[in-house]
């Protein structure tokens, strides 16, 4: 039981606290009659303020009662008992509490006016009577927020039958998104009425009037489950769920709803969890359904044993190409579990399709692997396989492989671990040493090579492999820029072969021009262009007397 000091601290309204403090001080010095009057004023004033709150919340019954009461309060007419009746009518207090307050009202009147006992002596309150008076008014009135009771609950249960109860359409796998709206309704209700509400909701769930009604009920139930601790519901929601499942089983919508608060399933009885598992296996695994709520539920396998049991059999229900095609959908739902479940299979598939250099196959597979955390995944490969994978990535660079280009782009260079920067450069250098399409395509994909070099030099200093690439770039820009003697000899050869010397000379000039144009495209990225010019300056001895010299 709280003492008077604790009671005083718990009351927040300054005006109400003023009268309550006066009551407690009067009690302390033996002025018991004054103590009763002061605490009674505090209680009645508190009732008035609570009615004002309910009126602001547009509670219709409160508005009706208040419109009748307010003139009487302003005219100082006898209104206190009517205020108690009104509080009972809007279910702010129970019938028993109303009867208690009416009895206290008589006690207050006895001590506020001259009243005599059977022997003609004025009534004097005892200390025990005053303590009871203060304590009871605190319990019934002063300690309670402006909440409603049985009448409001009845009306709420009727209102949720309407398809338009929530302003937007409800979906069974998104009910927890309405938590704030549900709690706004629940917080108006006296805690004493919550068990009645919960029981009535589960009863209504047995025979809802429509699908919308069923979803409205489930929305309240699910959000009551998630807020059970803060609401301090006397009877656990799991008890109601266990009874419902035992007696009624599960509807499809109820199953989706309960999956929306996965950790709550741990609180259900073993029998209920077993029933739910069997139901989910039939509806989702056997029928190969991939509903969002079910997949999200599986992501809780580390903390929900029921989810772990189902997760072990889940990968076999969905083809890998479907997982890859919708990797964004599945990774969003499964989170870190996506890589744990499908990562290895996606890595193997990606390595196969990289070799095709076909964007139609490469892009979805590489996108899925990137969602798994590509660099962590390939770190699990052996060293030889890691080198092979680095080479597969480089060789897959193609104009329609936007995932490869995105992964290795200059802008994304910081996302690549330095270990893989070195390995990719080494593989690129190996390709430079032998005639290959990589040499021929270097100008097309120079940005990606430079991104690796920039990252390498920023973190590790000089890149010894760079000069090989620069030599290739130089050779591709001056390959046709021959000396006059070489050009004359080559032109004669072309003319004898029937190609025409004039055509060859134009082609040679065109090749140089196109090569330079490809390099100049780097200027669209200011940071990349500045890095390229810095490299040319640092290796000026290589580009002297070449077309690249003009870029410094």
pLDDT tens-digit map of 361-400 = 999 999 999 999 999 999 999 999 999 999 999 999 988 9
* Beta-sheet strands, E only, within 296-346: none
Assign 398 to helix, strand or coil.
coil
Q: What is the 8-class DSSP label of residue 141? A: I
Is the four-CA dihedral 104, 106, 107, 111 of positive or negative sign?
positive
Structure tokens at 196: 């009645």
Q: What is the pLDDT of residues 359-371, one digit of tens each?
A: 999 999 999 999 9
In this predicted structure, what is the pLDDT of residue 76?
78
* 254-to-34, 175, 244, 259, 479 alpha-carbon distances in Å: 58, 11, 11, 9, 73
- Identify the band that residue 542 occupies on the pLDDT scale cut at 50, 70 and 90: confident
458, containing H or E segment: helix 446-460
Structure tokens at 274: 């077993």
- Identify the band that residue 483 occupies on the pLDDT scale cut at 50, 70 and 90: very low
Give burial (CB, 10 Å; 0-12/13-18/19+) of 281.
middle
Q: What are phi and psi of 489, to 5 degrees?
A: -60, -45
User: Would the pLDDT of 488 be above 70?
Assistant: no
Q: What is the pLDDT of residues 120-129, one digit of tens each?
A: 456 688 899 9
Contact criterion met (CB below 8 Å) for 62 and 90: yes
- Identify the band that residue 151 occupies on the pLDDT scale cut at 50, 70 and 90: low
In this predicted structure, what is the pLDDT of residue 123?
66
Domain 4-142, CATH number (from 1.20.120, 1.10.3680, 3.30.410, 1.10.1740): 1.20.120
For the segment 253-270, the average pLDDT, to the nearest whole number, is 90
CA neighbours within 13 Å on the CB side: how many for 63?
Answer: 6
- Identify the band that residue 350 occupies on the pLDDT scale cut at 50, 70 and 90: very high
Closest CA to 482 of 464, 459, 507: 507
User: Would the pLDDT of 506 be above 80?
Assistant: no
In this predicted structure, what is the pLDDT of residue 15?
84
Closest CA to 401 of 442, 445, 348: 445
Every domain of the chain and the residues it spans: 4-142, 150-303, 318-407, 423-552
In this predicted structure, what is the pLDDT of residue 477?
74
Contact criterion met (CB below 8 Å) for 522 and 529: yes
Longest dimension (CA), the chain: 147
384, containing H or E segment: helix 383-395
Residues constituting the chain: 552
Q: What is the pLDDT of residues 276-335, one digit of tens each?
A: 999 999 988 887 777 788 888 888 988 999 999 998 888 878 889 989 998 998 898 888
In this predicted structure, what is the pLDDT of residue 504?
40
Residue percentage of the chain with pLDDT more than 70 = 89
Helices (H), 29-178: 32-56, 60-74, 80-89, 95-112, 127-137, 150-159
Q: What is the pLDDT of residues 413-449, one digit of tens each?
A: 999 999 999 999 999 888 887 766 666 778 888 899 9
In this predicted structure, what is the pLDDT of residue 121?
53
Q: What is the pLDDT of residues 59-70, one digit of tens each?
A: 777 888 888 888
């Amino acid at each position: 039981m709280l003492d008077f000091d604790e009671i005083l601290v718990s009351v927040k309204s300054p005006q109400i606290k003023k009268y309550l403090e006066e009551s407690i001080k009067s009690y302390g010095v033996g002025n018991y009659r004054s103590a009763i009057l002061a605490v009674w004023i505090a209680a009645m004033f508190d009732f008035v303020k609570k009615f004002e709150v309910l009126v602001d919340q547009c509670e219709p019954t409160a508005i009706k009662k208040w419109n009748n009461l307010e003139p009487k309060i302003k005219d100082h007419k006898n209104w206190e008992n009517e205020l108690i009746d009104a509080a009972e009518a809007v279910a702010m207090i129970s019938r028993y509490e109303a009867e208690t307050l009416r009895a206290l009202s008589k006690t207050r009147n006895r001590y506020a006016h001259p009243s005599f006992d059977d022997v003609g002596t004025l009534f004097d309150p005892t200390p025990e009577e005053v303590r009871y008076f203060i304590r009871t008014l605190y319990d019934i009135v002063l300690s309670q927020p402006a909440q409603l009771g049985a009448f409001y609950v009845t009306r709420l249960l009727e209102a949720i039958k309407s398809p338009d109860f929530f302003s937007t359409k409800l979906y069974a796998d998104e009910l927890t998104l309405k938590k704030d709206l549900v709690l706004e309704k629940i917080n108006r209700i006296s805690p004493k009425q919550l068990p009645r509400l919960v029981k009535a909701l589960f009863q209504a769930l047995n025979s809802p009037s429509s699908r919308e009604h069923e979803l409205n009920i489930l929305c309240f139930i699910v959000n009551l489950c998630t807020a059970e601790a803060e609401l301090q519901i006397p009877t656990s929601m799991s008890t109601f769920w266990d009874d419902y499942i035992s007696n009624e089983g599960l509807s499809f919508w109820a199953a989706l709803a309960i999956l929306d608060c996965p950790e709550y399933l741990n609180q259900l009885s073993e029998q209920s969890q077993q029933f739910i598992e069997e139901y989910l296996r039939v509806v989702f695994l056997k029928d190969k359904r991939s509903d969002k709520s079910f997949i999200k539920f599986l992501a809780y396998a580390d903390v929900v044993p029921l989810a772990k049991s189902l997760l072990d059999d889940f990968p076999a229900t969905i083809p890998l190409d479907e997982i890859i095609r919708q990797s964004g959908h599945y990774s969003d739902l499964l989170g870190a579990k996506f890589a744990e479940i499908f990562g290895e299979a996606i890595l193997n598939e990606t390595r196969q399709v990289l070799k095709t250099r076909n964007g139609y196959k490469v892009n979805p597979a590489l996108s899925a692997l990137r969602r798994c955390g590509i660099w962590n995944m390939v770190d699990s490969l052996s060293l030889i396989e890691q080198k092979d994978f680095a080479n597969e990535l480089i060789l897959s660079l193609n104009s329609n492989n936007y995932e490869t280009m995105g992964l290795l782009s200059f802008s994304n260079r910081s996302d690549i671990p330095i270990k893989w920067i070195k390995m990719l450069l080494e593989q690129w250098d190996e390709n430079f040493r032998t005639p290959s399409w990589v040499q021929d395509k270097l100008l097309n994909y120079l940005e990606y090579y430079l991104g690796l070099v920039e990252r390498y030099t920023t973190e590790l200093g000089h890149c010894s492999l760079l000069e090989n690439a620069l030599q290739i770039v130089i050779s591709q820009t001056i390959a046709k820029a021959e000396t006059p003697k070489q050009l004359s000899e080559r032109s004669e050869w072309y003319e004898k072969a029937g190609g025409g010397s004039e055509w060859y000379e134009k082609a040679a000039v065109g090749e140089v021009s196109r090569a330079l144009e490809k390099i100049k495209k780097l200027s669209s990225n200011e940071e990349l262009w500045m890095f390229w010019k810095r490299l040319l300056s640092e290796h000026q001895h290589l580009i002297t007397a070449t077309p690249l010299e003009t870029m410094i």
